[in-house]
Structures are given as C-alpha cells and as structure tokens.
C-alpha cells in the first residue's frame, strides 16, 4: 500500500521533529521528571493537541537542524555526497549556532570551515584526544538515511557510516547511528495495522548488531559488543509483565544521556514500551505515548524524544501524529515535504 508507505516516510521525518521540539524544554540534566513535572508534561501535551490553543511555535534544536540538512542533501543530490552533507551541516551551524549543539562537535565544524572542506575525515577523528565522539549526534540525525535506503539494507549500513563519520568516528558513536537507522528501517517495513511483536522487533535488532559488532572486533574495546548487550537489556525490560519496569530501573539499565550507547537503546525501548498503556500517561494515541514517555525519562529529552519519534512515526505513519500538535512545531511543513521527496526517490513505483 503506497499511500500508507508515504505516510510512514512523512511520519518518521515529522516524528523526529516533534520529539525534538516537544522534548527540548524538559532537558534537565540526568533526572527523570518528578510527578509534578510529569503532570505539567501531560497538561501541556493535552493543550497542544487541542484545536484552539495559541502558543508560540516551539523551536527545533541541533537534532532537527542536522536531520533537515541531511534530508535536503539526499533529496537534491539523489545520492550520498558526503562533502555536500558536511557543507550543509556547517552552513546551518554558522547561520544558527544557538540551536543547542553538543559541546565538542562545534570544533569539527570550525575545522571543516577553516580548511574549506579540503579534508573532511580528520577533524572528526581528532575529537576527544583522537578517540572520536561517542555522542548521540550521529544517531539523532539519521532518519533520512533510513528512509533513503528503504530498499537496500547494505546501502543503509554504508551510508550511515559515511554520514556519521563527518562528526562521529568512535565505534560506539557510529554503531549507535546504525542501530537507530536499523530500528527505523524495521519500523518502515512493518504493518501498523497488525499487532507489533515487540520481542521479535528486538531479536531482529540483536541479530543485526551482533553481525556488525562481530565484524568490528579487535578495535580494543573492553566490551566488543555493547549494543548487543544493551538490546538484551531492552528485551528483558520489555518482557516484564504487570505494570512494566519502574522508571528508575529503566534509567539505571538503559540510561538517558548524550552518549549513543545510553540513549539509542532507550529510544527503542520507549517505542516498544508504548505499545501498551503506561501509568501516568493519559492518551489513547500510541505515538504520543511513546514520545511523552521518552521525555518523562529526563536527561537528553530532545534527542531521546526525537529518536523515539522517528522510530514510532516510521511505524505508525503521519495519521497517528496529532496535526494540531504539529502546528506548534517549527518547520513542520518542510519536514513533511522532505518525507514525501525521500519517499519518491527511495521507493521504486
Ligand atoms: P559531541 O560530539 O560534542 O558529544 C556530546 C558530548 O559527549 C561531548 O560534549 C562530551 O561531553 C561527550 N563525549 C563524546 N565522545 C566523548 C569521548 N570520546 N570522550 C569523552 N567525552 C565524550 O556532540 P553530539 O553531536 O554527539 O551531541 C549531541 C547531543 O548534544 C544531543 O543531545 C544534542 O541535542 C546536544 N545537546 C545535549 C544536551 C544535553 O546534555 N541534554 C543539551 C544541549 C544539546
Ligand atoms: Mg538538541
Ligand atoms: Mg562530535
Ligand atoms: Mg539533545
């Protein structure tokens, strides 16, 4: 069904945007939201869904700025042109430097601009004493690649690696982007009108990451397969019955930080957990439930909200994203159009 698939492409782009815009006001360091703040979040989402609510448009942050640049480049070049992507990242940063970029990544942008993009490999490699960044900045912007490579998983892996390494070369930063893209890819290929098998969703990701991390052994990491392990934790948490796991337990085991390893598996968990009701979150809408839950975990709320939104939007499609809520997000029309254009390029009709 091509109209459903188109809606899923839009949903992923819009989901990434809405999670970022709605999540960024709650960015609070490393604590999950207090009961009082969770109520504020509930009421604010209720208002944003209402038709008459006049609120200032919520601004997006670095997550959406970089997602936008990447999508624009893929749409205009119709293939991956890494230098073009790097130029767009840098141009967009220097036009609007106050979008909340990671503390280290700015150095990469300065170096790229400084030598006029003659060398786009070295600046990222030099980050953090030549270790490279393991931040979630590669994963947070990767949705357009998952859409662009809808029909070719091997191409997805290759494309994710190349676009991530513009800023993030640490294996854990790159593999976090691969995992986020793989989760979106799986969501896109599933039918939202059938019940989601949450266990097999995780098992499929474990199998993919096992392969990827096995191929990269020997890089000298203390733990050679960290994502495979964290996905095992996701599977255990999602299998708990009753009210599901306590928020404190989720945070202790999965995390909510700017590290890719402690945020990408968390976003996947939020999407899967929201298949069922969650206490303290009043909504019938599973897309809203996923991002509201992600934001309630605190920490890097814009990014975990955005990554959760990109996965959930790719699964449910645009229909499940409240249109009033979207009106309150900066540039939502542009993100919808980019979803359409990626669909037209990626899906052979
Ligand atoms: P980055 O590459 O600067 O990484 C983010 C941070 O992770 C760095 O500033 C370091 O503190 C740490 N880090 C990464 N790699 C290493 C390493 N090898 N050794 C030691 N420390 C390391 O930027 P990014 O693009 O990955 O960051 C993305 C995040 O920053 C997103 O959440 C984005 O929204 C932004 N951001 C985060 C917060 C927050 O803390 N909640 C606030 C504003 C902006
Ligand atoms: Mg951000
Ligand atoms: Mg970086
Ligand atoms: Mg963030």
Q: Among all ligands shown, which has an atom nearest to the Cα of 136?
A: 1
- CB of 150 within 6 A of ligand 1: the answer is no
Probe residue for ligand 1, chosen from 24, 104, 295 as the CB with the greatest number of ligand atoms within 8 Å: 104
- CB of 137 within 6 A of ligand 1: the answer is yes
Q: For residue 70, is pLDDT > 70?
A: yes
- Taking residues 23-30, report their average pLDDT: 86
pLDDT at residue 62, as a whole number: 98
Probe residue for ligand 1, chosen from 135, 138, 140, 165 as the CB with the greatest number of ligand atoms within 8 Å: 135
Do 20 and 327 meet the contact criterion of CB atoms below 8 Å apart? no
- CB of 107 within 6 A of ligand 1: the answer is no
pLDDT at residue 158, as a whole number: 97
Percentage of the chain beyond pLDDT 90 is: 92
pLDDT at residue 168, as a whole number: 98
Q: For residue 236, is pLDDT > 80?
A: yes
Query: What band does 53 get if pLDDT is binned at 50, 70 and 90?
Result: confident
Distances (CA, A) of 211 to 159, 205, 220, 289, 297: 17, 10, 17, 32, 30
pLDDT at residue 242, as a whole number: 81
User: 257: which DSSP letter?
Assistant: S
Do 94 and 109 meet the contact criterion of CB atoms below 8 Å apart? yes
Query: What band does 212 get if pLDDT is binned at 50, 70 and 90?
Result: very high
- Taking residues 212-239, report their average pLDDT: 86
Query: What band does 31 get if pLDDT is binned at 50, 70 and 90?
Result: confident
For the CA of 106, the nearest atom of ligand 1: 3
Q: Among all ligands shown, which has an atom nearest to the Cα of 300?
A: 1
Query: What band does 323 get if pLDDT is binned at 50, 70 and 90?
Result: very high
- The residue contributing the CA closest to ligand 1 atom 43 is 100
E-strand ranges in 214-340 read none
Percentage of the chain beyond pLDDT 70 is: 98
- Taking residues 302-319, report their average pLDDT: 98
CA distance 323 to 11: 11
- Taking residues 20-45, report their average pLDDT: 92
Q: For residue 218, is pLDDT > 60?
A: no
Query: What band does 29 get if pLDDT is binned at 50, 70 and 90?
Result: confident
- pLDDT tens digits for 136-148? 999 999 999 999 9
List 135's β-bridge partners, or say none: 259
Q: Could you tell me the distance, in angstroms and rounded to a whole number, from the CA of residue 62 to the centre of ligand 4?
A: 8
Do 202 and 147 meet the contact criterion of CB atoms below 8 Å apart? no
- Taking residues 65-80, report their average pLDDT: 98
- The residue contributing the CA closest to ligand 1 atom 44 is 100
- CB of 135 within 6 A of ligand 1: the answer is yes
- CB of 258 within 6 A of ligand 1: the answer is yes
Q: For residue 234, is pLDDT > 80?
A: yes
Q: For residue 255, is pLDDT > 70?
A: yes
Q: For residue 216, is pLDDT > 80?
A: no
For the CA of 301, the nearest atom of ligand 1: 41
Rounded to 5°, the CA angle 96-102-95 comes to 10
pLDDT at residue 144, as a whole number: 98
CA distance 294 to 254: 12
Q: For residue 43, is pLDDT > 80?
A: yes
Rounded to 5°, the CA angle 10-79-9 comes to 10
pLDDT at residue 27, as a whole number: 84
- CB of 100 within 6 A of ligand 1: the answer is yes
Do 344 and 74 meet the contact criterion of CB atoms below 8 Å apart? no
- CB of 102 within 6 A of ligand 1: the answer is yes
Query: What band does 224 get if pLDDT is binned at 50, 70 and 90?
Result: confident
CB neighbour list of residue 329: distance below 8 Å, 6 or more residues apart: 17, 18, 21, 22, 57, 58, 60
For the CA of 134, the nearest atom of ligand 1: 15
Probe residue for ligand 1, chosen from 29, 33, 102 as the CB with the greatest number of ligand atoms within 8 Å: 102
DSSP letter for each residue of 89-117: HHHHHHH-TTTT--TTHHHHHHHHHHTTT
- CB of 62 within 6 A of ligand 1: the answer is yes
Q: For residue 8, is pLDDT > 60?
A: yes
Q: Chain-wide mean pLDDT for the chain?
A: 95
pLDDT at residue 220, as a whole number: 63
- pLDDT tens digits for 122-165? 999 999 999 999 999 999 999 999 999 999 999 999 999 999 99
pLDDT at residue 219, as a whole number: 61
């Amino acid at each position: 069904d091509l109209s459903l698939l188109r809606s899923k492409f839009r949903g992923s782009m819009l989901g990434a945007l809405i999670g970022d815009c709605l999540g960024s006001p709650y960015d609070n360091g490393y604590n999950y939201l207090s009961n009082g703040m969770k109520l504020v979040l509930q009421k604010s989402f209720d208002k944003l869904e209402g038709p008459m609510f006049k609120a200032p448009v919520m601004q997006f942050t670095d997550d959406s700025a970089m997602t936008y640049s990447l999508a624009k480049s893929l749409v205009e070049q119709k293939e991956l042109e890494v230098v073009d992507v790097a130029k767009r990242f840098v141009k967009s940063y220097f036009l609007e430097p106050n979008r909340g970029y990671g503390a280290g990544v700015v150095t990469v942008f300065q170096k790229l601009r400084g030598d006029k993009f003659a060398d786009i490999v070295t600046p990222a490699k030099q980050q953090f004493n030549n270790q490279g960044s393991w931040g979630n900045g590669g994963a947070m912007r990767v949705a357009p690649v998952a859409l662009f490579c809808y029909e070719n998983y091997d191409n997805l892996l290759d494309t994710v690696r190349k676009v991530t390494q513009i800023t993030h070369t640490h294996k854990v930063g790159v593999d976090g982007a691969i995992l986020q893209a793989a989760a979106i890819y799986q969501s896109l290929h599933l039918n939202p009108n059938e019940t989601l098998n949450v266990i097999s969703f995780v098992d499929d990701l474990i199998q993919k990451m096992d392969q990827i991390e096995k191929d990269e052994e020997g890089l000298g990491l203390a733990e050679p397969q960290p994502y495979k392990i964290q996905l095992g934790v996701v599977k255990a948490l999602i299998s708990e019955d009753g009210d599901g796991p306590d928020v404190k337990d989720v945070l202790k085991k999965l995390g909510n930080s700017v590290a890719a390893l402690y945020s990408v598996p968390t976003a996947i968990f939020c999407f899967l957990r929201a298949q069922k009701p969650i206490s303290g979150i009043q909504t019938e809408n599973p897309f809203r439930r996923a991002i509201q839950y992600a934001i309630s975990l605190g920490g890097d709320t814009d990014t975990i909200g955005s990554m959760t939104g990109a996965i959930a939007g790719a699964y449910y499609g645009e229909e499940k994203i409240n249109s009033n809520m979207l009106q309150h997000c900066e540039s939502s029309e542009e993100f919808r159009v980019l979803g359409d254009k990626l669909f037209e390029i990626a899906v052979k009709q």
